[in-house]
Amino acid sequence: MEEGGGGGGGGGRRRRRRREEEGKDLRVDVDKEYEAIQELGEGWFAKVILVEHRKTGTEVVLKAISKDSTDLKDFLREFHYSYFLSPHVNVLNTYDVAFQDAGAYYFAQELAPLGDLTSNLGENGIGESGAKRVAVQLASALEFLHSKSLVHRDLKLDNVLVFAGDFSRVKLADFGSTVKAGTQAKKDSACMMMVPYTPPEICDVFPEEFYAVETGSDVWQLGVIAYVCLTGCLPWAKADITDPKYCQFLRWHRQRGIKSQAPSHFHRFSHKLQRLLRRILEPKPEKRGDVGEVLKADTKDRWLLRSPEASWAFSERDDPCSLAYSVASSREEKNRLLATLLRHGVETTVDREAKKEWLRQWVMDSQPRSTK
């Protein structure tokens, strides 16, 4: 038992010592304990690896987070949220297994047999029925988070994992950015890489400045995901007045009455869906709807009026959003594409052909082990 008393500095030192001791307890020889089967994905700060536990023969997914990009405190925070939120049916299952080696921190999660939403996205999205199922399930997961005053902050296609081909079972993943609502967060490089999904109130914040994290940012990102699932394209490159497609949306949003004319890229949507999108893509966060708006929506109502092919008025070559789903046939081309996109504030870490290849192998070789 620790001694009482002492000032704030002593308490801080004790907390640091506790974290150091926790870190020592987590040390594992990864190669000795696990056999790597396949690297499933790689982001800016982490890798996701399919492994087999040598003693039991059990296959699990390890998320490996580089120590160059995080510290023990932030790793434990992500693991804590991932583990204690996973009982929800639409949150990825995280197991009570966490450890470290010299270069990375690790924790174990369930295998998603069909990869992420990006890998399942066609030229025109995933279809109306699939988009409805995804939107409702993500809204349910977010309602669970928000009920605990937590904000995910990193909703995008890569962080939605697919467990059924008809999208009747998807799960939210990656809680590395999750914090309590009201937390003061800095607009850092991670925020800059999320530009197409970033709500306008955060786009307006200068780099390295702080802003208050609120649940409304998750609602906005859910709206963007729903749009992409229905169309196969991002609605805009950035929610800022410098973006022409966002300006069209903003002008429409400010209009009221029967003369209100939706922007051309919203013409394919029914009036009921347009009303829903206006609520969850409300530019003013204090007026934005919550995820309950999606859960209350009648999914029997039509969301699409006509096919995207008929209503899309310009070519993919002219659409900056389509770059987010371009195929890079080599690592060099992929790196050049990444550099170009980042210069314009658009983030993508997806090589779709590579993902398709490992997905094919994944489905053949692996079976989901969770019954949740």
Instruction: Summarize pLDDT for 142-195 with one digit per residue, the tens.
Output: 999 999 999 999 999 999 999 999 999 999 999 999 999 999 998 876 655 568
56: CB partners within 8 A, 6+ apart: none
Domain ranges of the chain: 8-109, 117-365
pLDDT at 349 over 50: no
Angle at 281 between CA 280 and CA 284, to 5 degrees: 100
Task: Express the helix, strand and coil content of the chain in percent, nearest 5 each.
Answer: 45, 15, 40
- pLDDT for the residue 118: 95
H helix or E strand, kind and range, residue 14? helix 8-25
- pLDDT for the residue 43: 77
pLDDT at 5 over 60: no
**Of residues 345, 19, 355, the one with CA closest to residue 202:** 345
Q: What one-character DSSP code corresponds to residue 37?
A: E
As a whole number of angstroms, the distance between CA 197 and CA 246 comes to 12
Q: How confident is the model at residue 261 (pLDDT cuts 50, 70, 90)?
A: confident
- pLDDT for the residue 359: 45
Please name the CATH architecture into which domain 117-365 falls.
Answer: Orthogonal Bundle (1.10)
Known binder of ligand: residue 63?
Answer: yes
Per DSSP, the three-state class of 50 is: strand
Looking at per-residue pLDDT, the higher value among 80 and 341 belongs to 80
**Bridge partners, 212 (sequence order):** 184
Q: Looking at residues 10-32, what average pLDDT do you find?
A: 61
Annotated active-site positions, please? 154
CATH class of 8-109: alpha beta
Q: Looking at residues 297-310, what average pLDDT do you find?
A: 78
Q: How confident is the model at residue 257 (pLDDT cuts 50, 70, 90)?
A: low
pLDDT at 334 over 80: no
Q: Looking at residues 64-73, what average pLDDT do you find?
A: 94
As a whole number of angstroms, the distance between CA 104 and CA 114 comes to 26
Q: How confident is the model at residue 26 (pLDDT cuts 50, 70, 90)?
A: low
Domains 8-109 and 117-365 share a fold: no
- pLDDT for the residue 353: 52
Share of the chain above pLDDT 90, in %: 64
pLDDT at 324 over 50: no
pLDDT digits (tens, 9 = 90+) for 196-244: 999 999 999 998 899 999 999 999 999 999 999 999 999 999 999 999 9
Residue that the structure tokens 């209350």 belong to: 296
As a whole number, the mean pLDDT across the chain is 81
- pLDDT for the residue 325: 40
